[in-house]
Structure 1
Amino acid sequence: MANTASAKKMTRKIARRTAVNKSRRSRVRTFLKKVETAIAGGDQTAAKTALVKAESELMRAVGKGVFHKNTASRKVSRLSSRVKGMASA
């Protein structure tokens, strides 16, 4: 348990930051899930629009420090290749 005043303040800050990051991560997952459902449904136009929104949300999370830049880029790359592959399938 924290003994000093600064340590107690840091635990409060960490708890607050953890809650914010958790909601941001959940929001990103929701956007990614929308892309996944559009791909599964076979609707390429809906998948493209969902992908644009998901990419924006992912990069916003990167800016806030929730995800690493390479992780977000990898996710966007894999999703966009799946969306592009829908045209040939």
Structure 2
Amino acid sequence: MANIKSAQKRARQAEKSRLHNMGMRSKMRTQIKNVLKAVEKGDKAAADAAFKAAVPVIDSMINKGIVTKNKAARHKSRLNKQIKALAS
């Protein structure tokens, strides 16, 4: 643990931020898994609905700085590709 008061505060803030970010990341991953489960079942309607719910969550993680915009775009693109493959 740090000895300087400002460093102690910074350590507390960093820990609080880490826990918050962990929860946000988990929320995003859950949304992604919901889409993947629907795709795995072969239910296009459910997969579309889950994807529409997941996109705003993924986008909000960009604004919060949880993930980079490229990573978010990659997730959205891969999920959309899998959903479109169901239609074929």
Task: Output the CA distance in 2 between the equivalents of 1:41 and 1:80.
Answer: 15
- Partner residue in 2 for 1:28: 28
- In the TM superposition, what whole-angstrom CA distance separates every residue of 1:32-71 from its partner, at most 9, and x where no partner exists? 1100000000100110110111111111111101000100
Moved segments of 4+, more than 3 Å: none
CA distance in 1 between partners of 2:49 and 2:76 (Å): 13
Cα deviation 1:5-33 (Å, max 9, x = unaligned): 11000000000000000000001111011
Query: 1:1-89 maps to which residues of 2 (within 5 A)?
Result: 1-88=1-88
Q: Aligned residues: percent identity?
A: 38
Q: Distance in 1 between matches of 2:52 and 2:14?
A: 32
Q: With structure 1 as the length reference, what TM-score do the two structures score?
A: 0.96
- TM-score, normalised on structure 2? 0.97
Distance 1:53 1:2 in 2: 42
Where structure 1 has 5 or more consecutive residues not aligned to the other structure, the ranges are none
CA RMSD between the two structures: 0.6
Give the length in aligned residue pairs.
88
Could you tell me how far apart the structure 1 residues matched to 2:56 and 2:50 are? 10
